[in-house]
Amino acid sequence: MAELSTLARPYARAAFEYARDSQQLPVWAQQLSTAAAVAADQRLKQVLSDPALTAEQQAKTLSDVCGDALGAHVRNFIGVLAVNKRLSLLPEIYSLFAQYKANQEKTVDVEVISAFDLADATRDKLAAVLGKKLEREVKVRTSTDRNLLGGVLIRAGDLVIDGSIRGRLNKLAAAMNS
């Protein structure tokens, strides 16, 4: 994955800077998301990697599949990717673009996994506390995992806070075995 990130980073940075400077971050994010999802489709991957197609044909195929969801600037961007044989990087480019956008907007997506459904008030309080700690606006997505036994598991990018009973029991077992 590190190699893909290294290859995708300059394209993601260029797209982000262009979108930011033209005040089109949400538009570009949506359009890149669509293009990345289409490019990640296994059937389209085969078409896009077909050596019999020229770069222009590959870019046109991807743009045609996306239809009206892509604007002219994103279509041009896809053309540049095709010429440089980087269409397969679109999912990684979008992922990096989304990170740059979140950093710019001072937001973070947080996943909260709990053993039981969280009440709205609890979720809101948790978002407020995490927002202060991370110094960002927090967008919380919740899910349940009955295997946790109790507590919560919080994922915010690379940060993982394991406050679950299962996690505590695993730490206790590791401490006792060492």
Closest CA to 110 of 145, 142, 156: 156
Domain boundary among 102, 119, 136: 102
Which two tokens mark 18? 């262009």
Q: Taking a C-beta distance cutoff of 8 angstroms, is the pair 109, 25 a contact?
A: no
Q: Note whether 18 and 68 are same-domain residues.
A: yes
| pLDDT surpasses 90 at 162 | no
- Give the count of domains, the chain: 2
Domain boundary among 102, 136, 169: 102
Q: Note whether 60 and 133 are same-domain residues.
A: no
Domain boundary among 102, 120, 147: 102
Q: Note whether 22 and 94 are same-domain residues.
A: yes
Kindly calculate the radius of gyration of the chain based on its CA atoms and give it in whole angstroms.
21
CA 4, CA 39: separation in Å to the nearest integer?
A: 15
Q: Taking a C-beta distance cutoff of 8 angstroms, is the pair 162, 131 a contact?
A: no
| pLDDT surpasses 80 at 157 | no
Sheet hosting strand 107-114, strand order edge to edge: 137-144, 107-114, 152-156, 159-162
| pLDDT surpasses 90 at 149 | no
Q: Note whether 124 and 79 are same-domain residues.
A: no
Q: Note whether 10 and 89 are same-domain residues.
A: yes
51: containing domain: 2-102
DSSP 88: G
Q: Which of 147-151, 157-161, 162-166, 173-177 is predicted most confidently?
A: 173-177
pLDDT at 2: 59
CA 91, CA 166: separation in Å to the nearest integer?
A: 33
Q: Note whether 40 and 96 are same-domain residues.
A: yes
Where is pLDDT greater, at 127 or 18? 18
> Mean pLDDT across the stretch 4-31?
93
